[in-house]
Amino acid sequence: MQPSDFSPNSAVDLGARKAAMEREAKQRAAESAGRTNPYAVNVDEANFQAQVLERSMAAPVVLAVLAGWSEQSKQVETTLDKLSAASGGNWFLAKVDGEASPQLVQALRVPSAPMIIVVVQGQLLPGPAGPVPEDQLTAWLTEAFAALKEQGALPPGHPGTLFGEGGPEAEEALEPDDDVRPVDAEAQQALDREDFDTAEAVYAKAVEADPRDTESRSRLAQVRLVRRLRAVDMNAVRASAADDPQDVEAQLAVADLDMYGGKFEDAFDRLIATVRRTADKERDAVRARLLELFDLLPPGDKAVAAARRKLTSALF
């Protein structure tokens, strides 16, 4: 398959976006805990071209098609994270959530998850599927890279080995940084087991202990946002918000969606307009949600500053 042969719909539908939220939340928490893999990326229909096909022109990409509900997928993902981190950038790991990106899975002709595919210079080499022990997966990748090197299929300069010159360094690569905040490490452990309640409680306690802790306040807002959106029917709430501007819950939910999608001004403007239309407890609830959404952005952000001025005008 050449890069030009792949042409899935580049727009990620709302259902796929929702299914990817938990994975992204865990990734953000892992970054804050200093345990992220610098050679791994989450992939969907929107970034497949750039992160897999184009990247494979310079270095091999191991594509892992996974299923969030599958213990087999989690085991394979853990192994690949360890191996790619140990490679020192000798190859890259691209993870596909099969449930979130069904069109991509169909285009790749993947029968079931987990499944491994090596992508080199736009060409796809199907690999093992199902539960593969670490030693077998390591052996298969080692043999695959060696065979590709012998065939002259690897990008120029690639040694044809699984690991770089320094050899495996997985334990060091994925070891938490010494300066990681305990609160982030604790929250990360909770998110690793999909315990959003505990992660929220950890950050809420940190903020209560020190209201000036803007980093924990922002993390708390992130966890709450993702937790709320896990239960949202995205198409339904957008329709409800459009049909009935007085539906406060729908307006709140759509503002959450806009924040998650990076449409910060749209989210702020929607809730400020809702503040103008409401009173008493409803107005207080909308105002409180807006202030929480402000916490998602860095202090001094221009969009937040502008929205604060608009909110003041709406309230008084």
Q: What is the pLDDT of residues 55-88, one digit of tens each?
A: 888 889 999 999 877 788 888 998 998 898 888 8
What value does the mean pLDDT take over residues 178-193?
A: 79
pLDDT at residue 11, rounded to an integer: 28
pTM: 0.50
Burial class (CB in 10 A: 0-12, 13-18, 19+), 5: exposed
pLDDT at residue 41, rounded to an integer: 87
Q: Which two tokens stand for residue 270?
A: 């929607």
Q: In this model, does residue 208 exceed pLDDT 50?
A: yes
Alpha helix ranges (H) inside 33-133:
48, 71-86, 102-108
Q: In this model, does residue 177 exceed pLDDT 60?
A: no
pLDDT at residue 18, rounded to an integer: 43
* Residue 235: how many other CB atoms lie within 10 Å: 11
Alpha helix ranges (H) inside 193-279:
196-209, 214-230, 234-243, 248-260, 264-277
Instruction: Confirm if 258 and 264 have CB atoms less than 8 A apart.
Output: yes
Cα 216 to chain centroid, rounded:
19
Domains of the chain, residue spans: 3-173, 182-315
* CATH entry 3.30.300.30 includes domain 3-173: no
Instruction: Confirm if 56 and 133 have CB atoms less than 8 A apart.
Output: no
What value does the mean pLDDT take over residues 198-214?
A: 92
Q: Is the dihedral of CA 237, 256, 266, 31 positive or negative?
A: negative
Q: In this model, does residue 173 exceed pLDDT 70?
A: no
Collect all residues with Cβ–Cβ distance below 8 Å to 257 and sequence separation of at least 6. 14, 229, 232, 234, 237, 238
pLDDT at residue 235, rounded to an integer: 85
Quick one: what percent of the chain has pLDDT higher than 90?
Answer: 36
Q: What is the pLDDT of residues 19-44, one digit of tens each?
A: 455 555 555 554 444 446 778 888 88
pLDDT at residue 2, rounded to an integer: 31
Q: In this model, does residue 172 exceed pLDDT 80?
A: no
Instruction: Confirm if 93 and 131 have CB atoms less than 8 A apart.
Output: no
Q: Which two tokens stand for residue 71?
A: 């213990």
Q: In this model, does residue 14 exceed pLDDT 50?
A: no
What value does the mean pLDDT take over residues 264-284?
A: 94
In the Cβ-directed half-sphere of 233, how many Cα atoms lie within 13 Å? 6
pLDDT at residue 215, rounded to an integer: 87
pLDDT at residue 6, rounded to an integer: 28
Q: In this model, does residue 185 exceed pLDDT 90?
A: no
Q: In this model, does residue 274 exceed pLDDT 90?
A: yes
Complete edge-to-edge strand list for the sheet that includes strand 40-43: 40-43, 92-97, 61-66, 115-120, 123-129
